[in-house]
Structure 1
C-alpha cells in the first residue's frame, strides 16, 4: 500500500539522521525516564517547569472571567444596574444569567476545537500569542458594557478565545517535561483554574461594597494584567519539541530540548526516543485528524479523555461559579457570603497543592475513583440537611451545608480536578494529543452548556429555589460517573508515551494496566 506523504516524510527524516531502529538509544532514553526521580527532574528541568507554568497563565484568564461573572450576580451595584426589582432587592433574571453564562462553555466548544488547527499548522507558541491578543481586545467590550446585551456580546466573544487556552496549556505542559514531572505540571493547570477563580472572588469581595459602576468595571479592567504579562514574556518561550518533530525540523527540536533541559540532560537520547515514538504511531496508523480520534484504539483513548473531563462538570463543579450567590441565597449576609466564597476557593487552592503529594505516591486511577466516591457522599449529605425541620430558622444547618460545600470543593481539587488533566494528556496519543484534548474540552463544555442553563433555574428564588437539594442531583450523577470510572480508567502513572501507545495498541484491560510488563 502506498504511504501517505506524512508517513513518508517522517520515516525518511528518521532514516536520514540514523534514528530509525536505534534500539540502544531508545531503550537508554526510556530507562532514564523511569529512573529519574521527582527531585532530580526538578534540578534538570527548571526551564521546562517555568515555561509550562507560563503557558498555563492563560488558564488563569479562562477561569477568572466566568468566576467573576458568577460573583457579580451577588454584587448590589451590578444587580441594580443590570437586574430588576424582586421583593426587597434586585436580581438578575434566570434567562439572562443563562445567556451570560453561556460565554464560557460555548467558547470552550468552539475555541477548543478551533485551536487544534493553528496549533498543528503554526505551533503552540504562535497560537498562544494570537489568543492573548484577542483576549485583550475582547475585554474592552466587557469593561465598557452598561447593558446586558453588550455584556453578553463581550462574554460570548471573549469565551471563544478563552476556550483555546484549555487546549493549549495541557498540550504544551505534557510535551515539554519528563515522566517524573508530567503529572505535576499537568495537574498545575487545575491550580491555575482555582487561582483564577480565587482572584476573581477576592477582587469582587473588595469591590462589591462600591455603589458605583466601578464595583464591576474595575474587576473587568484587571483582566488586562494577564495579557500584558504574557505578551511581554512569550517572544522568549521555546516551541514544543514534539511539534518540531512532526514538522520534520529535528534541529529545531534539539534546540528546544536544550532550552527546556539542564546541562545533565542527554538531549540526543531524548530526541531519538521522541522520533521513535512518533514513528511508532505512524506505523500504528494513529493519524492526526479529528476523525482519527474515533478510529481503532484511539476511540478508547478519546472515550477516557472525554469521560474524565465531563465528570468534572457532572460532579457539580459549576456550583463554584455561583458560590457567593449560593451562600447568599442560603441565608448568609452579603459580606459573609463573599468571605465564605473566598474561603471556599482558598480551600480548593490548598487542595490542589496537596494533590501533588498524592501524585508522587498514588496512582491516577485510585486517586480519581476514591475522590469521586467521596464527592458523591458529601453531595447527598448537603441535600439531606436541606430536608431538616424548620430549616430557614436554624442558621446552624445553613452553616453546616456551607461547610460541607467547602469540604467538597477541597476534595474535588485534591482528586478529580487535577488528576483529570494528567489522565487526558497520558491517555491521548502524541500525534493526536491536540485533537484529543480539544474533543475532550469541547465535550466537557457541551455538558457545561446544559449546566449553565439548568443551575440558574435550580438555584434562583423566583424559579425552583432548590438550595441544597441540588445535592441529590449532583450526587446521583457522581455515582453514575464513579461506575464508569471504575470500569474504564486505566493506571497510567510512570509510563512513557511509547509504552502507553503499545499498551493501548495491545488492548491491555483496564485492570491490567498498572502491573503490565512488556514482552522482550
Structure 2
C-alpha cells in the first residue's frame, strides 16, 4: 500500500493528539465568564478552584506519560493507544456528568491520565512506522492534530456560549467522547509497530508490516535494507544490552540523549506557548478587547496556526532538518514577545484608545503562536524526542521526555495567573529570556537528525555502533561508494569511542 497507507495510519493514530488539544482547549472556554451556566451550576467557583480545574489535568498527564512507557514495552504501541482512548472515554464521562466540582476535577485527572498516555505514545508510534525521509512530516502530524483539537475547541466554545442551560458546558465537554471511541475501535485495523514486533520475536509479522507501510513496488531493495537494519539492531541490543531506566544515564552518549529529549520538551514549555494558549482571553483583554470578540480572535488564531503547521511539516521540516527551525523559532518568539511587552507597557488596554496599538498587539500574539511556534518547537519537539533513543529504551526515554513537558506545564499553569495579574506586561520579560536561552541550548547541544533512520541515531550521538547492523544495510548491493562512506563513518565513531574509553 505504501506511503498513502503510512500517512493514513500516522494521521489516524494522531486522533489521540486531537484529544490532547481539544481537552486542553475546551476547558478555557468552559470556565470563562461567557459560560454563565457553568458558574451558576458550580456556585461561582473562585480563581483558585478554577486554577485547580486546569492544573489537575496537567498533573494527570504527568502520571499518564509515566505509565505509558511501561505499557508501550509490554503490550505494544498500538494497544497502549487503545488503553489511552478507553481511559479518555471514562474521563470524559466523569466531566460531562459532573454533579459537583470535586467530580469535575476527578474527571479532569482521569482525562489527564489518558492525554498523558496518548501524548507520549502517539509520536513514538508514528516515528517507528515512518520512513526516514517522511518521519518529520508523519510524526509532525502530532502537533497538527493538537492544534486542530484546540481549533475545534475554540469554535465549539464560541457556539455553545449561546446555550442557556447546563448543555452550555456539558455538550462541549462531552463531544470528545466521539473521537476517543473512534480511536479505540479504529486501532484494531491498524498495524503494530514493526520494531516492537521484532523485539517480541514476531519477525514475519514485522516484515509484512514494513511492506504494508513502505512498499511502492519499486523499492524492494530499500525494504530489505530497512528491515535488516531493524532486525540486526534489535537482535544485538537484546543480546548485549539491558533495558533498565538507569540506562538513560549509564553512559555519556545515553545521558546526552536523555538530556536532549527532556530539554526539547522543557524548552517547548518555556517558549511561553501555554501562557498564550490557556490565557489568550486575558492577553486580549489587556489589549482592550472584550466579550465575543476575544473568542473570535482566538478562533482565527487557531485556524492560521493549523495552516502554517501543515505547510511546515509537509514542505519544510524534512528538508531543512530539526535544528534550524528551533533556532529561528526561538529568536522569532523572543522578538514577538519583546514587541508585545512594549505595546502593553506603552498602550495599556484599560486606558488606551489607540486602535493601531491594539491591533498590532493582537498581530504579534498571532505571529508568536501561529507562525514561530508552529514552525519550530510545536511540531519539532514531538519528532525529536521520539527519534533519538535506541529501541531498547525508546519507550522509557520518550516517557521521561514527555513527563518533563507536563511537569513544567503544571508549574507554568500555576504561576502564570499570578504573573499576569501582578506583573502585567513585565511577565513577558521572563519568556523573552527563556526563548533566547532556548536558542542557545539548541545551537550548542542539539545534534541534527534529519534523514537518519532510527537505527542510525547511534552514530549521531557517538553511542553504540553495531557492526552487523551497519553491514546488513549494504548486503543488497546498494553501491560501493555509499558502502565505503558508511564504513568510514562507523570507523570514525569507533575511534571516538576508543579515545573516550582510554580517557
Kept in 2: contact 1:107–1:163 (CA 8 A): yes
Q: CA deviation at 1:180?
A: 1.0
Task: Check 1:395–1:145 CA distance in 2 against 1; reply closer, same or farther (3 A cut).
Answer: farther
Please name the residue that 2:495 is paired with. none
| Deviations 1:182-217, CA, capped at 9 Å, x for gaps | 110111111011001111001001111223222211
Shifted more, 174-183 versus 427-436: the winner is: 427-436
Q: How does 1:22-101 map to 2 (within 5 A)?
A: 44-74=2-32, 75-78=34-37, 80-81=39-40, 93-101=46-54
- Give the secondary structure class of the aligned counterpart of 2:451: coil
Please name the residue that 1:409 is paired with. 369
Kept in 2: contact 1:376–1:478 (CA 8 A): yes
Say whether residues 1:430 and 2:430 are aligned partners. Answer: no
Unmatched segments (≥5 aa) in structure 1 = 1-42, 86-91, 509-514
| Deviations 1:308-340, CA, capped at 9 Å, x for gaps | 111111110112122234324543121100001
CA distance in 1, matches of 2:347, 2:135: 50
Please name the residue that 1:255 is paired with. 208
CA distance in 2, matches of 1:353, 1:191: 6
Please name the residue that 2:496 is paired with. none
Please name the residue that 1:126 is paired with. 79
- Give the secondary structure class of the aligned counterpart of 1:102: helix
Q: CA deviation at 1:71?
A: 2.2
Task: Check 1:99–1:389 CA distance in 2 against 1; reply closer, same or farther (3 A cut).
Answer: closer
TM-score (norm 1): 0.83
Task: Check 1:193–1:432 CA distance in 2 against 1; reply closer, same or farther (3 A cut).
Answer: same
Kept in 2: contact 1:324–1:340 (CA 8 A): no
| Deviations 1:19-55, CA, capped at 9 Å, x for gaps | xxxxxxxxxxxxxxxxxxxxxxxx8322222111111
Aligned residues: 461
CA distance in 2, matches of 1:405, 1:254: 47
Say whether residues 1:290 and 2:239 are aligned partners. Answer: no
Say whether residues 1:327 and 2:280 are aligned partners. Answer: no
Q: CA deviation at 1:103?
A: 2.9
CA distance in 1, matches of 2:9, 2:393: 22
Q: How does 1:231-380 map to 2 (within 5 A)?
A: 231-264=184-217, 265-266=219-220, 267-282=223-238, 285=241, 287-296=242-251, 297-319=253-275, 320-356=277-313, 357-380=315-338
CA distance in 2, matches of 1:44, 1:135: 31
Task: Check 1:329–1:300 CA distance in 2 against 1; reply closer, same or farther (3 A cut).
Answer: same
Q: CA deviation at 1:177?
A: 1.4
Task: Check 1:327–1:83 CA distance in 2 against 1; reply closer, same or farther (3 A cut).
Answer: farther
CA distance in 1, matches of 2:152, 2:227: 39
Which of 399, 402, 425 aligns to 2:359? It is 399
Kept in 1: contact 2:81–2:184 (CA 8 A): no
- Give the secondary structure class of the aligned counterpart of 1:393: coil
| Deviations 1:260-310, CA, capped at 9 Å, x for gaps | 23352434433212112224545773x323221122121101111111111
Kept in 1: contact 2:191–2:209 (CA 8 A): yes
TM-score (norm 2): 0.86
- Give the secondary structure class of the aligned counterpart of 1:338: helix
